[in-house]
A and B are shown apart, each in its own frame.
Chain A
Amino acid sequence: MPVLRTVQPTWRKRTTTAHLVLWGGWLALAALFAWCWREMTKNTIWAFVWDAPEQAADLGARMFPPRWSYMERLWWPLWDTLNIATLGTILGILIAVPIAFCAARNTTPSVYFVRPVALFVIVASRSINSLIWALLLVAIIGPGLLAGIVAIGLRSIGFVAKLLYEAIEEIDHGQVEAITATGATSAQIIDYAIVPQVLPAFFGISVFRWDINIRESTILGLVGAGGIGLQLQASLSTLAWPQVTLIFVVILATVVVSEWVSAKVRGAIT
């Protein structure tokens, strides 16, 4: 009988069991999707859904054309909105910078006390949306621009401080060591070795936050915190659709411009 060498090395990525488990997993996922879909659509009134294109077309027709003459009453609220965003960002940055230095592991005065406090302030500020801050502040300091500015500022603290302290922690330690070796004081070390390294990050973060704040400040008026959102709410509640369209156009244009400015500024810093 001739010798048959049938045992060749074979190779597969997975064992048979692993294959079965994998397919079982996919099946479970498909089943879950089907079940979710059924739950989701249980209370849907399908007549309304089939109706949707007509409704959309109807609303679209009523929204178009925008009422351009309304523009003369939008300039001032628009200016307010820009001011809320800009002043709020400045307020946020002023508070965020010292917090960032307290939160960064390599610059904090105390790892066991100051740092956790700073981190808590950051989390607290970040966990609450600007709109909620505005809602609270309108109740506390009354409706108007000031509530909007403070709301934007409070929300910006966490964002700016978090990104800035991460930038501070990532600096090159060699430069700090070199400046320390010259006999510099702590303040001089921050000025000469740390600030130059985090400055590009700082400008980038600030402009980015300003850009976000322009978008956020457009809706603050919905809760009475001033700006173009007030006009939006007034137009929506009186069903003045052509005015709503115009406000959308104005917001879109503002955001496009702010994005362009922010991209330019960030590109200019190296």
Chain B
Amino acid sequence: MLTVENLTKIYKTGDRALKDVSFTVQAGQVVGLIGPSGAGKSTLIRCVNRLVEPTSGKIRLDDRELTRLSGAALRSARRRIGMIFQEFALVERLTVMENVLSGRLGYVPFWRSFTRRFPQTDIDMAFALLERVGLSDQADKRADALSGGQRQRVGIARALEQDPELLLVDEPTASLDPKTSRQIMRLIGEICAERNLPAIINIHDVVLAQAFTARIIGLRAGEVVFDGEPDQLTDKVLTTIYGEEDWNAMRRGAEEDSRDNQEAAERMAGLV
């Protein structure tokens, strides 16, 4: 169980990215974190594994307080928190296998990782995961030789190779086409269900979030403004999250586009 209590983050520039954010995630629960750009979604999940240092507040994973750890204790907490990134963040010039095995870096001593002589159990697990994400014949390819969807699958395999207790997912579909996006979201959902793995998924695509998560938290300017089930996400709630102006402008923009298209079609029809 992940507990976030009164989490606040103020950047050196004075930007208050998070204000007093509190919520809990139960075991096996997949939470979608939505909100406009700059709402603090990325900051929030990076505070959990301390890639970003929170200013105040507490984050607990089961009975371990993550916000208090440092050095070796922090590294051993990080190795049980898998992370999946927007632009995949694979090491481009390493092979798929090396990328997946890098999920074990927190478990093996330096010389083993340096000589790439990982324990056989780690290698077996890596092959099983590649099989699970559908890339079993790509193990020896370099990461930069893969397509976007394949790279994200490697990213998923790397996160799972960590044998995680929690999955942090940062905009997993932002660099993918709509069809691949749905496949990747479905894969993440299935894997979380198989392993009873809790996950926090940052996602700006509301439709995808509603389709693939069991609970949605809406963040606006660093504050939680919605926390509920996907069905409760009405237009009114979306207005609260994304702001009145933007919301209407977006709709107006869409209406204008369709009106322009219609007019153009009529003119063309008149010409014939």
Contacts and interface: CB of A to CB of B under 8 A. Distances in A.
- Say which size band chain B's interface belongs to: 20 to 34
Q: Majority SS of interface residues in chain A?
A: helix
Interface stretch (A58-66, A72-80, A171-179): A171-179
Given A188-B110, A192-B105, A179 B51 contact: no
A179 B94 contact: no
A179 B162 contact: no
A172 to B, nearest CB: 8
A175 B89 contact: yes
Interface in B33-75: 49, 51, 75
Interface residues of A, number: 21
Contacts, number: 81
B201 interface: no
Contacts of B113: 184, 188, 191-192
A178 B90 contact: yes
B102 interface: yes
A169 to B, nearest CB: 18
Residue among A174, A182, A196, A197 with most chain B CB within 10 A: A182
Contacts of A9: none
Nearest to A199: B93
Contacts of B93: 196-197, 199-200
A183 B90 contact: no
26 contacts: A172-B92, A174-B89, A175-B89, A175-B90, A175-B91, A177-B85, A178-B83, A178-B89, A178-B158, A179-B105, A181-B81, A182-B106, A182-B158, A182-B162, A183-B77, A183-B106, A183-B107, A185-B110, A188-B105, A188-B113, A191-B114, A192-B105, A192-B113, A196-B91, A197-B93, A200-B93
Given A181-B78, A193-B91, A196-B91, 13 more contacts: A177-B89, A178-B91, A179-B105, A180-B51, A181-B51, A182-B103, A182-B106, A183-B162, A187-B110, A188-B113, A191-B110, A197-B92, A199-B93
User: Top 10 nearest A-B pairs by Cβ distance?
Assistant: A183-B106, A183-B79, A178-B89, A184-B105, A183-B78, A174-B89, A196-B93, A181-B83, A183-B75, A188-B105
